[in-house]
Every structure is written in structure tokens, then in C-alpha cells.
């Protein structure tokens, strides 16, 4: 009995080591975060801050730095705790608010409420509602609470891409009100005073306490469905945990915008070093989530200058590829689906009908693209306007779409993976990053050297996936490609900000736009 008690005491002491180390790092990074940035705040100013001297540094600390610090701690803790709970309940190491479309749903809801609704709607209510809808759609598409891990993750990524595309479309088509939302959509911790923190901190605190109180039930759920059911744990515990996780993720989005991969990386890291009991795991996740986001924020403030701001969410997104690939190497996946083969047989059994339908759809799309635009052509169509302005855009869209489709066909044939494509494997994002580098180096867009740079960027991604994706299933390779794509997109956005390019135009181009294309672009694409 004494030996068992000694072993439990020793195990508890070892489990406290990550918490103590995390607290030390949290204190150090908090001081670094208060000092970092463009404002003039020194260590001496921090030491004198409790006395509240009348100085500019004190004003900066109280109204800018401290709210930002508390925002980073709250958001990091909320995301890490939500990710920990989701992974336990779904028995899925790939579960996280951003992977399961909770974050993107919250983002879309807040964008809609801010830019489209004619009346004011509370930001937190919008993010909670949107996050819940995103999570429900993901679970419905992915197969429910007991879905296979990679399948559920793929469903979540697909839903997230759709929601993010809608958010980007609304933001890019909005008026000047969208200027602040563009930065917010990248995940930014800047706060205008204490109002948002004061209103959301109690909710985050209540959510974290509720999850810690569910710690014993979460431990039992880790043992498996049969054991949990035999001990009286039903779906109520799982639903409660997921709802609290959605609440925490919604609060995080309302405070700082969509920030990814904190909720994915931190729980897996802590489980990898041996933390299993949720009464220890959840507090450790909160501490290390805050540490991770504070570390990213210190780097973001170091990179930021007076004329530009580097969103913290971009640096967090750079963790996407290494973290997700590391997890996928440990996740067992089921055999690849044959659904695409059956679909192909059904479609190509009636080739004339298929080709005829595609031709009709293409003709209708071309007519609509030529006839409709920013302005009206009236009853008498001015064909010179159509030829000069709209025809190049239509031809660019047709050519680019055809090239992407052929690229996807070749990738699927070579990799024998129905999920392969230029966008899912990160080739498009690699080419975009290389194109930005070529632009900064002075190469003329659409020139042969510029195109060579873009091709090298896509080729580099292929080599990276071929090296990292060994022994992975087709679905896991697709997830790895999506992670690489997210990291490369974040690097591209960071490059746009650091190079002080026109942010709105650059983000529109990175999102994929045929705007302002000319016949010169058509000639460059034609060969």
C-alpha cells in the first residue's frame, strides 16, 4: 500500500514538472511581450508600473500592452483547453477548433454580422453560433462522434475551406469597413482598451472551470466507449464537453480572430510527454497554450514596425505543416475509399450526356461572364468593351481552370490518390510564395523567369511531400498537403506585410482573382 502511494506521489510530482516549467516560461514571456513592440517601454518602466507614474510609457502599458498580454493568455488557454477536450471526446488526435471548422464557422458568422446585417449583433454571440454550426456541419459530413480520425479531419478541413472562402469573398467585396476585418481575419491580438477582455474573461474562466470539473469523466472516456457506457457515462457528458469547447473557441475568435493550430499542437505535445489525467492535463494545456501564443506574439511584435503590423495568427499558422505531419505519422488510417471509382463508372457510362451537359454549362458560364459585370452594357451591347475588358478575364478563367484540372488529373494518376490536387497538396501555395519572391527580386510578372520561379516553388512542394509523406495513406497525404498549404499561405501573407506591398490587392491575388486581366496576360498563358 505504501509502495502504491509512493508511486502515485512520484507520478504526481513528475506531472507537475511541465506545469511549473510552463509557469516560469509564461512569466518570462509576459515580460518580453510587454517590452516588445514599437512603443518605448523599458524594464525600468515595468518595474515602476505598480506605482502608476504619470508617463507615456505607463499609458502604453495600461491601455495597449496589458490588454494585449491578457488577450494572448486567454486565447491561448481557451484554444488549448478546447482542443484537449475535443481530442478526448472524439478519441481523435487530429481534433481541434480550427480542424473541425469551429473557428472558421465563428469567423464567418462574425464577418456576416459585422458587414452584412443591418443591425448590431453581439460579437461573442455570433462567434458561438457560427462555431456551433461549423462543428455540427463537420460532424454531419465526417460521420459523427465516432468517425475515423482522418475522415473527420478531412471533412473539417473541407468545411473550413468553404467557410473561409465565403468569409474572404464577403470581406473583399465589402466597403471600407472591411479594412480592419482583413487584419482581424489573420488573427491579431491588438485590443482597444479593456472592454472586450473584461466582458469575455469571466466566460472563459467559467468554461475552463467546467472542463476541469469534467476531468474524471474525460479520463473514463479515454478508456473506450464500452467502459464509459458501463460506468454510466452517456452522450450528455460528450455533448456538454463539446459545447463548452465551442464556447471557448468562440470567445477566442471574438477576442483575437481565427488563430489556428494552438488547439491541435499543445494537447498532442502534452500527451506525448506523458500527461494523461485531465485534472493535470487541462491546466497544463491552458498554461502551455498561453506560452505558445505569447511566444508567437513576441516574435510578431519584433517583426512589426510602425508602418506595418504582423498578425500573430500568421506565425501560429506556420506551425501547421510540422505539427500535422508529426501527428499523422502516429494515426492509423483506414484503407482508401473506392467511392471515386464508382462515381467515375456512373458518369462515364453515359459519355454523350456528360459531354453535352458540360458544353451547355460552359456556354452558359461564358455568356454570363461576358454579359454581367460591375456595370451594365444596356440593350445595345458595346462589343469593344466586352472585347477589351471582359473577354480577357473569361479566357484567363477558362485557361487557368483547364490547367488546374489537368494538373489535378495528372497528380491523381501519378499518386493514385483521388484527393490529390494543386491546392490540396500545396503546389498552388508554393507557386504563389515563389511568385512573390520573384516579384520582390524584380522579375517582370508573366515573364519566362517569373514563370520559372513559380514552377520551382511548386516543384519544391512536390519534393517536400514525397519526402515527408512516405508510408502515409492517401488521406493522410492530402492532410499533409493541406497543412503545408496553410503554412505557405501564412508565409506569403507575412511576406506581403514585411515587403509593404498593397495588402488588399495582394490578398485578393493570393485568394485567386481574374480582376484586371488583359490580352497581354492571355498571350502569356496561351503557350
pLDDT by residue (tens digit) across 321-370? 677 777 766 665 544 444 444 444 444 555 666 666 767 777 777 666 66
Q: Which of 75-89, 118-132, 370-384, 427-441 has the highest mean pLDDT?
A: 75-89
CATH architecture of 11-317: Orthogonal Bundle (1.10)
C-alpha cell at 505: 490587392
Label residue 294 by pLDDT band (50, 70, 90): very high
Three-state helix/strand/coil letters over 410-440: HHHHHHCCCCCCCCCCCHHHHHHHHHHHHHH
Q: Which CATH number fits domain 370-525: 1.10.3470.10, 1.10.645.10, 3.40.980.10, 1.10.150.120?
A: 1.10.3470.10
Q: Assess whether pLDDT exceeds 70 at residue 177.
A: no
4 compared with 404, residue with greater pLDDT: 404
User: For residue 191, what pLDDT is reported?
Assistant: 84
Q: What is the pLDDT of residue 458?
A: 86
User: What is residue 311's three-state secondary structure?
Assistant: coil
Q: Report the candidate in 231, 177, 242, 204 with the shortest Cα–Cα distance to residue 75.
A: 204
User: What are the contacts of 198-206 at 24+ separation with CB within 8 A?
Assistant: 199/124, 200/74, 200/124, 200/251, 200/254, 200/255, 201/70, 201/74, 203/124, 203/247, 203/251, 204/74, 204/77, 204/78, 204/248, 204/251
Q: What tens digit of pLDDT does each residue of 74-84 get?
A: 999 999 999 99
pLDDT average, residue stretch 506-511: 61
**What 3-state class would DSSP assign to 332?**
coil
Q: If you average pLDDT over residues 485-506, what whole number do you get? A: 71
Cα distance between residue 16 and residue 228, in whole Å: 27
Q: How far apart are CA 478 and CA 458, in angstroms?
A: 16
241-251, pLDDT tens digit by residue? 999 999 999 99
What is d(CA 478, CA 257) in angstroms, rounded to the nearest whole number? 26
* 3-state SS assignment for residue 235: helix
Where are the chain's structural domains? 11-317, 370-525
**Mean pLDDT of all residues in 393-421:** 76
- With pLDDT > 90 as the criterion, what percentage of the chain qualifies? 18
What's the pLDDT score for residue 337? 47
C-alpha to C-alpha distances, 221 to 238, 271, 283, nearest whole angstrom: 9, 15, 18
- Give the per-residue pLDDT at 201: 92
The residue whose grid cell reads 505519422 is 329
pLDDT of residue 338: 47
pTM score:
0.79
Task: Identify the CA nearest to 153 among candidates 312, 407, 325, 271.
Answer: 325
pLDDT of residue 522: 67
Rg of the chain on CA atoms, in Å: 25
Amino acid at each position: 500500500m505504501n509502495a502504491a502511494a509512493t508511486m502515485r506521489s512520484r507520478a504526481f510530482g513528475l506531472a507537475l514538472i511541465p506545469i511549473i516549467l510552463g509557469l516560469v516560461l509564461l512569466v518570462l514571456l509576459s515580460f518580453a511581450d510587454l517590452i516588445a513592440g514599437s512603443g518605448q517601454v523599458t524594464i525600468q518602466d515595468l518595474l515602476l508600473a505598480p506605482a502608476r507614474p504619470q508617463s507615456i510609457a505607463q499609458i502604453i502599458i495600461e491601455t495597449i500592452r496589458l490588454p494585449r498580454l491578457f488577450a494572448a493568455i486567454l486565447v491561448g488557454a481557451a484554444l488549448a483547453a478546447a482542443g484537449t477536450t475535443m481530442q478526448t471526446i472524439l478519441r481523435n488526435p487530429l481534433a481541434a477548433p480550427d480542424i473541425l471548422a469551429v473557428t472558421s464557422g465563428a469567423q464567418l458568422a462574425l464577418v456576416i454580422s459585422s458587414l452584412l446585417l443591418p443591425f448590431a449583433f453581439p460579437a461573442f454571440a455570433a462567434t458561438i453560433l457560427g462555431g456551433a454550426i461549423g462543428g455540427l456541419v463537420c460532424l454531419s459530413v465526417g460521420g459523427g462522434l465516432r468517425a475515423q480520425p482522418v475522415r473527420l479531419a478531412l471533412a473539417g478541413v473541407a468545411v473550413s475551406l468553404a467557410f473561409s472562402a465565403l468569409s474572404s469573398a464577403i470581406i473583399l467585396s465589402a466597403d471600407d469597413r472591411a479594412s480592419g476585418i482583413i487584419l482581424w481575419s489573420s488573427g491579431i491580438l491588438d485590443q482597444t482598451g479593456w472592454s472586450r477582455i473584461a466582458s469575455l474573461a469571466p466566460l472563459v474562466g467559467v468554461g475552463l472551470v467546467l472542463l476541469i470539473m469534467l476531468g474524471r469523466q474525460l479520463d473514463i472516456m479515454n478508456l473506450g466507449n464500452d467502459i464509459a457506457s458501463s460506468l454510466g457515462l452517456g452522450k450528455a457528458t460528450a455533448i456538454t464537453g463539446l459545447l463548452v469547447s465551442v464556447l471557448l473557441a468562440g470567445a477566442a475568435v471574438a477576442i483575437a480572430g481565427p488563430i489556428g493550430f494552438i488547439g491541435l499542437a499543445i494537447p498532442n505535445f502534452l500527451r506525448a510527454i506523458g500527461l494523461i489525467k485531465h485534472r493535470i492535463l487541462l491546466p497544463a494545456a491552458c498554461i502551455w497554450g498561453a506560452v505558445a501564443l505569447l511566444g508567437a506574439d513576441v516574435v510578431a511584435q519584433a517583426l512589426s514596425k510602425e508602418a506595418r503590423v504582423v498578425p500573430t495568427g500568421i506565425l501560429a499558422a506556420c506551425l501547421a505543416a510540422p505539427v500535422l505531419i508529426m501527428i499523422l505519422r502516429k494515426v492509423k488510417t483506414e484503407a482508401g475509399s473506392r467511392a471515386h471509382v464508382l462515381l467515375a463508372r456512373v458518369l462515364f457510362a453515359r459519355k454523350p450526356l456528360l459531354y453535352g451537359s458540360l458544353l451547355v454549362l460552359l456556354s452558359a458560364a461564358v455568356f454570363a461572364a461576358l454579359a454581367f459585370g460591375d456595370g451594365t452594357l444596356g440593350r445595345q451591347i458595346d462589343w469593344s468593351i466586352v472585347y477589351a475588358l471582359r473577354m480577357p478575364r473569361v479566357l484567363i478563367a477558362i485557361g487557368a481552370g483547364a490547367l488546374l484540372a489537368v494538373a489535378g488529373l495528372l497528380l491523381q494518376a501519378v499518386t493514385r490518390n483521388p484527393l490529390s490536387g494543386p491546392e490540396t497538396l500545396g503546389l498552388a501555395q508554393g507557386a504563389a510564395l515563389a511568385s512573390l519572391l520573384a516579384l520582390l527580386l524584380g522579375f517582370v510578372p508573366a515573364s519566362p523567369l517569373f514563370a520559372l520561379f513559380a514552377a520551382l516553388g511548386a516543384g519544391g512542394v512536390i519534393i517536400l511531400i514525397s519526402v515527408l509523406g512516405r508510408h502515409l495513406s492517401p488521406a493522410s497525404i492530402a492532410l499533409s498537403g493541406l497543412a503545408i498549404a496553410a503554412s505557405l499561405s501564412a508565409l506569403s501573407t507575412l511576406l506581403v506585410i514585411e515587403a509593404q506591398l498593397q495588402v488588399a490587392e495582394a490578398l485578393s491575388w493570393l485568394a485567386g482573382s481574374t480582376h484586371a486581366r488583359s490580352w497581354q496576360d492571355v498571350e502569356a498563358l496561351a503557350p
